[in-house]
């Protein structure tokens, strides 16, 4: 799904209903719809709605193993925090100010790749076991 296809409200409704095509839903669109959902709902409500929609999408695509609760919640937390730290007029402005989020590996600042790939991280939100100061 591209940002010019239908209204944001329609896109969010399609996500929540599990009606998007998983193969046409790249990482940048995950971020954009997370950004839009966080503009409309509290963090807790956004996490619930967003994760439920993703679970429906992966189930419909017969790929439930690709859903990762830790990755989902962590990205929503980063988007939510950055939305509140600095006001952005639009998604375009937000993503221009936060290009690191476009890299799926950006969570490796806080998490080891092994932790993110673990079955536990896939099934439930996990706090990071690695701190930024341990990087280097």
DSSP annotation string for 30-99: HHHHHHHHHHHS-HHHHHHHHHHHHHHHHHHTT-GGG--HHHHHHHHHHHHHHHHHS--SSHHHHHHH-G
Average pLDDT of the chain, as a whole number: 92
Confidence of residue 131 (pLDDT cuts 50, 70, 90): low
pLDDT at 2: 47
Q: What is the mean pLDDT of residues 61-85?
A: 97
Range of the domain at 25: 8-134
State the Cα–Cα distance between residues 14 and 16, nearest whole angstrom.
5
Q: How confident is the model at residue 1 (pLDDT cuts 50, 70, 90)?
A: very low
134, pLDDT greater than 80:
no
Asked if the structure places residue 120 within a domain, the reply is yes
- Given a cut of 60, whether residue 25 has pLDDT beyond it is yes
Number of domains in the chain: 1
Residue 15 banded pLDDT, cuts 50, 70, 90? very high
Mean pLDDT for 66-93 is: 96
- What proportion of the chain, given as a percentage, has pLDDT over 70? 90
Residue 2 inside a domain? The answer is no
On whether residue 3 sits in a domain, the answer given is no
Q: Is residue 1 in a domain? A: no
pLDDT in the model for residue 47: 98
pLDDT given at position 132: 57
């Amino acid at each position: 799904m591209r940002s010019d296809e239908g209204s944001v409200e329609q896109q969010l409704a399609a996500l929540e209903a599990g009606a998007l095509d998983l193969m046409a839903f790249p990482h940048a669109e995950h971020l954009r719809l997370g950004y839009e959902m966080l503009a409309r709902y509290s963090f807790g409500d956004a996490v619930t709605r967003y994760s439920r929609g993703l679970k429906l999408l992966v189930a419909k695509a017969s790929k439930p193993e690709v859903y990762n609760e830790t990755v989902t919640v962590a990205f929503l937390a980063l988007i939510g925090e950055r939305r509140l730290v600095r006001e952005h007029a639009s998604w375009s402005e937000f993503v221009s100010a936060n290009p690191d989020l476009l890299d799926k590996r950006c969570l490796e600042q806080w998490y080891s790749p092994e932790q993110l790939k673990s079955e536990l991280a896939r099934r439930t939100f996990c706090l990071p076991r690695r701190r930024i100061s341990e990087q280097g």
